[in-house]
């Protein structure tokens, strides 16, 4: 009979059993259909946060459900173990990054394991080990061979105090996030991956990713930024050089009032290098960093070269400027300005008193002062284009330029090549050797992997590898003379770009992964993670997959067939009477129902539920939750209420409600008779009702999980439980129905509350574990009820409900509906014009 449910003991017991039996360890099996479910792997910060709990619970529900549905499910876990925090810990506490990282992995693994996830831990790896990153070095060299990797000079954010490159997101208000020093723009030799070669494929394949959120596909599409237009040349009066520009609005050529070059354009210095004020102008352009925000705030400034440019079709000269808002990385690094139809050009023209010539006129004409017109209209003041619509004019002018050989129609992308060099220690070494005579050479195959030196010092700013006394010294593989190693390491997004393949064959010493294995497991059917990686990681991983494919490593085009992006976890915020943020654990309700501080007893101000953050202290510690309420309650709560794609509000009452349910399920289900009764020929009506509920729930829960509507699945299960709890057995049929319901219930709560489910399953005398138990079979014939209760409307308003036999005719329904007292009252003196009967749904009496 029901005894008190010992959560801690029971949960530990079942985790041990799963572990000992290797319940979640899988291998390729061609007889079974595979299903690969993957959650974004964590950075080993040392402690899991609630976001992890949500992420991995969602994945585990899918994994356990798909396993029960008969799939061969791969559900692995690993560690995204390279990255800055380890170096910061080394600087702050003098602890070696490797030691710090490995210790963090140990504690985080224990925390994750206490969630009871159905993970194949035998496949675990950490990306910071040579066993993992050696394959990256091989891939990189193969990329180099194939022209996918290359080296070039580029502009970067440079922190003058730390002597290191900063990513755009590490620049805050033009200053380094750690040092606070104003960031400089610097030209640096960096390694790049030619993601732009894949721009078209990356864009086109987005259409096929129909199990991705529309939002993410759109973000990637915007990021890739394909645009079509005309690339054509202007002559410079009195010089031989030509200026090539790209435009998406070739139709506005006759509205041109200037040509502008990027300050980084090779022609800029040629045309203006000897002019007064040029050096100062360039310096001004370089100040202020390269972050989007910094660029946006910058005022448009230009430098008049004094030269004029012409185009054969235009027949007049326009001035040539150098302007700070022209990007060298996009298009050709030069433009022609049409102030009337481009806001930036108009701002620039107004500042330098350049002419404004409208050439596209909407109905009724326009006057341009401060706002450019970019809408539709007919061309004017444009000679042979006059009267044409914008699109026709574009085509026409491209045709003319191609005819006179000054230009051609082309496509440009916003996407830029991926700069992968980082001046860091804690990353994968880039396997390159620099020789004064032979240049940059790949590290020979037999010298791979290039491993990080263990004796490393962080006492100087800048790249520790650069400062290492001996590590970078080596000999040229070609001429054997002394040479230097590349001291930069890969961007840590490198590791996460291919880890999905590595799980398929995590111990392979020769290859990233064996093709036979990746061909079996890949692609990932269901990927789950935060939306913050919509363009970064998710785009890199897609690109990497294609690059690996083209280098013969894999036969896969897209890594993730299905993607689910979960919402954030939020919590109320609390402030004490001085406005200081306090932790949720420091606020308690007093007898009057007001929140007060646990120590001072003074009132606490409650703020809105917002994303958990350390600065606002509105965080909860998953370990504490797992210890107090158990994994099942934590999992249940995190799946309840909120749809997974939306933000989830963490509340104490919510987790307590979940905990209550766990205990109640245990006491109620434990108390049921465990014996398996024989199936009788006849069932009482209450038994039929229960069986219908059972099979309705089997259908609904399956559909909900497939649709990621975990909150609905939980609601169905609770409803089902309420039905079981209210049931009183009176005959053999009832016993059978209850037995059927109980076993189905236990099987279906398994994805959500696996420990409790196993415990109840065992208590019912089963010798096999629930992890081997298939999803309960659905009997569709039991879904149909003998009677249906439907609403009766009069002019669309519900006035009564009637209960009819399942196969009742329309006439019966109509008669019964009209016989209802409430219906008659609503009809009153009015004339019945029409009666609409939708069988099994509604009766609507139209009067008036």
Partner RNA sequence: GCGCCCGUGGCGGAAUGGUAGACGCUGCGGACUUAAAAUCCGUUGACCUUAGGUCGUGGGGGUUCAAGUCCCCCCGGGCGCACCA
* Footprint (CB under 7 A) of RNA, residues 398-457: 412, 414
If one asks whether residue 283 binds RNA (CB under 7 A), the answer comes out as: no
The DSSP-derived string for 688-738 is HHHHHHHHHHHHHHHHHHHTT-HHHHHHHHHHHHHHHHT----SHHHHHHH
Helix (H, G, I), strand (E, B) or coil at 10: helix
Tell me how far, at minimum, the Cβ of 498 lies from RNA, in Å.
23
If one asks whether residue 101 binds RNA (CB under 7 A), the answer comes out as: no
Among 182, 798, 812, 818, binds RNA (CB under 7 A): 798
CB nearer to RNA: pick between 614 and 834 = 834
If one asks whether residue 219 binds RNA (CB under 7 A), the answer comes out as: yes
Closest CA to 564 of 222, 81, 57, 50: 57
If one asks whether residue 664 binds RNA (CB under 7 A), the answer comes out as: yes
- Per CB under 7 A, which of residues 733..792 are in contact with RNA? 789-791
CB nearer to RNA: pick between 662 and 746 = 662
Kindly determine how many residues on this chain lie close enough to bind RNA according to the rule CB under 7 A: 85
CB nearer to RNA: pick between 445 and 703 = 703
The residues, ordered by sequence, that sit 6+ positions from 462 with a Cβ below 8 Å of its Cβ are 162, 163, 164, 423
Among 72, 154, 164, 793, binds RNA (CB under 7 A): 793
Among 715, 762, 769, 785, binds RNA (CB under 7 A): 715
Provide the 8-state DSSP code for 600: T
On whether the CB atoms of residues 308 and 237 are closer than 8 A, the answer is: yes
Among 46, 130, 174, 225, binds RNA (CB under 7 A): 225
Q: Burial-class residue 409 by CB neighbours within 10 Å (0-12, 13-18, 19+).
A: middle
Among 161, 218, 606, 819, binds RNA (CB under 7 A): 218
Both structure tokens of 714: 């939980």
If one asks whether residue 822 binds RNA (CB under 7 A), the answer comes out as: yes
**Region from 380-388, 421-429, 440-448, 797-805 binding RNA, contact rule CB under 7 A:** 797-805
Tell me how far, at minimum, the Cβ of 293 lies from RNA, in Å.
8
Instruction: Determine the longest span between alpha carbons in the chain, in angstroms.
Output: 109
- Per CB under 7 A, which of residues 198..217 are in contact with RNA? 214-215
**Region from 27-35, 358-366, 476-484, 836-844 binding RNA, contact rule CB under 7 A:** 836-844
Distance CA 613, CA 842 (A): 50
If one asks whether residue 565 binds RNA (CB under 7 A), the answer comes out as: no
On whether the CB atoms of residues 555 and 519 are closer than 8 A, the answer is: yes
Among 164, 257, 324, 492, binds RNA (CB under 7 A): 324
Distance CA 267, CA 270 (A): 5
Tell me how far, at minimum, the Cβ of 433 lies from RNA, in Å.
34
- Per CB under 7 A, which of residues 641..660 are in contact with RNA? 641-643, 646-649, 651, 653-654, 656-657, 660
CB nearer to RNA: pick between 81 and 326 = 326
Tell me how far, at minimum, the Cβ of 587 lies from RNA, in Å.
15
In the numeric block, the tokens 């996009």 are attached to 330
Neighbours of 628 (CB within 10 A): 14
CB nearer to RNA: pick between 175 and 846 = 846
Q: How many residues does the chain have?
A: 848
Among 175, 205, 295, 785, binds RNA (CB under 7 A): 295
Among 121, 177, 330, 581, binds RNA (CB under 7 A): 330
The DSSP-derived string for 617-685 is T----HHHHHHHHHHHHHHHHHHSSS-TTS-EE--HHHHHHHHHHHHHHHHHHHTS--S-PPPPS---H
Among 64, 249, 378, 739, binds RNA (CB under 7 A): 249
- Per CB under 7 A, which of residues 339..368 are in contact with RNA? 342, 344, 347
Tell me how far, at minimum, the Cβ of 657 lies from RNA, in Å.
3
Tell me how far, at minimum, the Cβ of 466 lies from RNA, in Å.
30
Whole-Å CA distances, 365 to 22, 187, 368, 376, 770: 76, 47, 10, 11, 75
Closest CA to 489 of 468, 509, 510: 468
**Region from 51-59, 288-296, 360-368, 537-545 binding RNA, contact rule CB under 7 A:** 288-296
Helix (H, G, I), strand (E, B) or coil at 405: coil
Among 107, 170, 248, 310, binds RNA (CB under 7 A): 248
If one asks whether residue 333 binds RNA (CB under 7 A), the answer comes out as: yes
Among 129, 227, 688, 763, binds RNA (CB under 7 A): 227
Tell me how far, at minimum, the Cβ of 341 lies from RNA, in Å.
9
- Per CB under 7 A, which of residues 585..604 are in contact with RNA? 593
Among 17, 178, 275, 300, binds RNA (CB under 7 A): 300
If one asks whether residue 325 binds RNA (CB under 7 A), the answer comes out as: yes
**Region from 11-19, 269-277, 332-340, 671-679 binding RNA, contact rule CB under 7 A:** 332-340
Establish how many alpha carbons lie within 13 A of residue 386's alpha carbon, considering only the half-sphere containing its beta carbon. 5
**Region from 247-255, 309-317, 462-470, 673-681 binding RNA, contact rule CB under 7 A:** 247-255
Whole-Å CA distances, 773 to 699, 744, 747, 748: 17, 11, 7, 10
- Per CB under 7 A, which of residues 507..536 are in contact with RNA? 531, 535
Tell me how far, at minimum, the Cβ of 658 lies from RNA, in Å.
8
Among 137, 518, 750, 844, binds RNA (CB under 7 A): 844
CB nearer to RNA: pick between 187 and 825 = 825
Distance CA 614, CA 773 (A): 42
Establish how many alpha carbons lie within 13 A of residue 319's alpha carbon, considering only the half-sphere containing its beta carbon. 15
CB nearer to RNA: pick between 405 and 411 = 411
Helix (H) or strand (E) holding 302: strand 302-310
Helix (H) or strand (E) holding 818: helix 810-819
Peptide bond into 832 cis (omega under 30): no
Q: At what angle do helices 50-68 and 685-706 cross, to 10 degrees?
A: 120
CB nearer to RNA: pick between 648 and 752 = 648
Neighbours of 822 (CB within 10 A): 13
Tell me how far, at minimum, the Cβ of 495 lies from RNA, in Å.
22
Tell me how far, at minimum, the Cβ of 282 lies from RNA, in Å.
15
């Amino acid at each position: 009979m029901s005894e008190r449910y010992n959560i801690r003991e029971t949960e530990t017991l079942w985790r041990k059993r799963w572990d000992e039996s290797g319940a979640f360890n899988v291998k390729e099996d061609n007889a079974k259909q595979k299903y690969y479910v993957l959650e974004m792997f964590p950075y080993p910060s040392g402690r899991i946060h609630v976001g992890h709990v949500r992420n991995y619970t969602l994945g585990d529900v899918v994994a356990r459900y798909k396993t029960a549905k008969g799939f061969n499910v791969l559900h692995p876990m690993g560690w995204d173990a390279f990255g800055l925090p380890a170096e910061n810990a080394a600087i702050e506490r003098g602890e070696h990054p490797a030691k710090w990282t490995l210790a963090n992995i140990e504690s985080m693994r224990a925390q994750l394991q206490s969630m009871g996830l159905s993970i194949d831990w035998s496949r675990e790896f950490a990306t910071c080990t040579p066993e993992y990153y050696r394959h990256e070095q091989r891939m990189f060299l193969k990329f180099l061979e194939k022209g996918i990797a290359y080296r070039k000079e580029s502009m970067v954010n440079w922190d003058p105090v730390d002597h290191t490159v900063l990513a755009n997101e590490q620049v805050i208000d033009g200053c380094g996030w750690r040092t606070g020093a104003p960031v400089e723009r610097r030209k640096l030799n960096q390694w790049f991956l030619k993601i732009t070669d894949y721009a078209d494929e990356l864009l086109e394949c987005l259409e096929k990713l129909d199990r991705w959120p529309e939002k993410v596909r759109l973000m990637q599409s915007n990021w890739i930024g394909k645009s079509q237009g005309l690339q054509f040349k202007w002559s410079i009066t009195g010089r031989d050089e030509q200026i090539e520009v790209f435009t998406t609005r070739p139709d506005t050529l006759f509205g041109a009032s200037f040509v502008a070059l990027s300050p980084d354009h090779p022609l800029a210095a040629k045309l203006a290098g000897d002019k007064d004020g040029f050096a100062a102008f360039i310096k001004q352009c370089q100040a202020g960093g390269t972050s989007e925000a910094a660029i946006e705030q910058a005022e448009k400034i230009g430098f008049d070269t004094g030269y004029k440019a012409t185009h054969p079709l235009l027949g007049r000269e326009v001035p040539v400027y150098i302007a700070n808002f022209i990007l060298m990385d996009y298009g050709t690094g030069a433009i022609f300005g049409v102030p009337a139809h481009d806001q930036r050009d108009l701002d620039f023209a107004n500042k330098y008193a350049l002419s404004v010539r409208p050439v596209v006129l909407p109905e009724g004409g326009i006057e341009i002062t401060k706002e450019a017109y970019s809408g539709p209209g007919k061309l004017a003041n444009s000679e042979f284009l006059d009267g044409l619509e914008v699109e026709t004019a574009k085509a026409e002018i491209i045709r003319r330029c191609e005819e006179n050989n000054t230009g051609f129609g082309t496509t440009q992308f916003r996407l830029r090549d991926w700069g992968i060099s980082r001046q860091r220690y804690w990353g994968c070494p880039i396997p390159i050797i620099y020789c004064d005579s032979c240049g940059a050479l790949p590290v020979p195959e037999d010298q791979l992997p290039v491993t990080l030196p263990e004796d490393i010092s962080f006492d100087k700013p800048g790249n520790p590898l650069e400062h290492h006394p001996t590590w970078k010294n080596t000999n040229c593989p070609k001429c054997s003379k002394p040479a230097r190693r590349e001291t930069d390491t890969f961007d840590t997004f490198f590791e996460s770009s291919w880890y999905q393949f590595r799980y398929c064959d995590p111990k392979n010493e020769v290859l990233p992964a064996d093709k036979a294995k990746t061909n079996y497991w890949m692609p990932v059917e269901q990927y789950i993670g935060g939306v913050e990686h919509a363009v970064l990681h998710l785009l890199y991983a897609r690109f990497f997959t294609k690059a690996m494919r083209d280098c013969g490593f894999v036969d896969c085009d897209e890594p993730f067939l299905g993607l689910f992006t979960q919402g954030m976890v939020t919590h109320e915020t609390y402030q004490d009477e001085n406005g200081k943020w306090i932790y949720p654990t420091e606020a308690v309700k007093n007898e009057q129902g007001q929140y007060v501080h646990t120590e001072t007893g003074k009132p606490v101000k409650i703020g809105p539920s917002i994303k958990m953050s350390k600065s606002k202290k509105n965080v909860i510690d998953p370990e504490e939750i797992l210890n107090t309420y158990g994994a099942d309650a934590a999992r249940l709560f995190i799946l309840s209420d909120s749809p997974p794609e939306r933000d989830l509000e963490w509340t104490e009452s919510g987790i307590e409600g979940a905990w209550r349910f766990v205990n109640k399920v245990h006491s109620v289900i434990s108390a049921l008779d465990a014996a398996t009764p024989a199936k009788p020929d006849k069932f009482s009506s209450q038994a039929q009702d229960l069986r219908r509920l059972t099979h309705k729930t089997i259908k609904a829960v399956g559909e909900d999980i497939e649709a990621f509507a975990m909150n609905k699945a939980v609601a169905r299960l609770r409803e089902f439980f309420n039905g079981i709890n209210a049931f009183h057995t009176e005959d053999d049929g009832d016993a059978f129905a209850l037995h059927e319901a109980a076993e189905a219930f236990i099987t279906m709560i398994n994805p959500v509350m696996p420990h409790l489910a196993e415990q109840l399953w065992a208590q019912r005398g089963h010798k096999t574990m629930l992890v081997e138990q298939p999803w309960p079979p659905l009997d569709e014939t039991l879904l149909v009820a003998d009677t249906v209760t439907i609403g009766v409307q009069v002019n669309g308003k519900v006035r009564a409900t009637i209960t009819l036999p399942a196969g009742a005719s329309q006439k019966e329904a109509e008669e019964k509906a009209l016989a209802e007292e409430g219906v008659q009252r609503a009809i009153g003196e009015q004339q019945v014009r029409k009666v609409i009967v939708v069988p099994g749904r509604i009766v609507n009496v139209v009067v008036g």
